[in-house]
Amino acid sequence: MQGYTHAAAGILAGLILCETTNQTNLINIGVITSVSCIVSLIPDVDQQLSIIGKIFFPLSYVFDKIRDLFNFLQYKHKGYLKYFLFKILKLLRLTKKNKTQINGMLKKIKKRKSNIIKWLDNCFEHRGITHTLLIPTLIFICFALYKNIFVLATLAGYMSHIIIDAFNDRGVPLLFPFTWKFRFKVATITTGNWTEKLFCGLVWIGIGYMVWLLK
């Protein structure tokens, strides 16, 4: 989903939190809603073209370069690796039996290495580790320790982003770090087209309703 949809969802999450915690002070309501709105954009820091990615350009740039590195290691290194292994085996003048045994060992090591690289690549891809339950869990632990309403607003904003992205056809990897294959989704809204704009409009209707309730 695009930034304007996430920002709207963050505002709605903040207002729902204000209603459920019986907030009456207008300053508190404004701060809680603002915190939730801003935090709702943070998970997209893994993408340079996002609103938050442009603001925190150095961090989004690091994510981008790490993705490039793991893509190289995962897909482009295989030819070089095979060439050097062949040269080493030729240099050692190993027997055919030893070559077969070592080739079997190398295949196992290569497969394990490839799986690790792929796992790390998934961590830093868009909708990778920032779109899992790992960071919300850490925020919840902070709230459990300090019982601060603004920490809870941070959690509400972050979770609003993950929930909204679950309405997209790509879904979100909620079962990280156990698996990347399962991606939770509840709808197939396409980012940027009329379905997202309609969805965002419904969110704003929800915002209007929550403002009416808080009067």
pLDDT at 151: 94
Tell which residue, 212, 181, 197, has the closest CA to residue 1: 197
**Lowest mean pLDDT segment, chosen from 26-35, 98-107, 163-172, 189-198:** 98-107
Mean pLDDT score, 68-93: 57
Amino acid letter for position 81: L
- With beta carbons less than 8 A apart as the criterion, state whether 40 and 158 touch: yes
Tell me the whole-structure pTM to 2 decimals: 0.74
Based on its alpha-carbon atoms, the radius of gyration of the chain, rounded to whole angstroms, reads 23
Q: How far apart are CA 162 and CA 157, in angstroms?
A: 9
* pLDDT tens per residue across span 143-179: 999 889 999 999 999 999 999 988 887 788 887 766 6
Domain ranges of the chain: 1-47+131-215
Burial class (CB in 10 A: 0-12, 13-18, 19+), 27: exposed
